[in-house]
Amino acid sequence: MEIYTAMRHFADSWGLLAMTLFFLGVLVFTLRPGAKASANEAAQIPLKED
């Protein structure tokens, strides 16, 4: 039971912080100024002829 309590405490504190930072990082990466060109290029990959 002691391990469960420690893991639960870690998930409630640092786990939430880690997930929040990851979410903000993905958001910044997606909304950065040069993202539109690379997103459009990636969107066209299935339509390209080999």
Residue 46: pLDDT band with limits 50, 70, 90: very high
Please give the residue that has the higher pLDDT: either 3 or 13: 3
Is 0.75 topped by the overall pTM?
Answer: no
Residue 48, SS3 per DSSP? coil
Residue 49, SS3 per DSSP? coil
Residue 33 pLDDT greater than 90, yes or no: no
Phi (first) and psi of residue 32, to 5 degrees: -70, 160
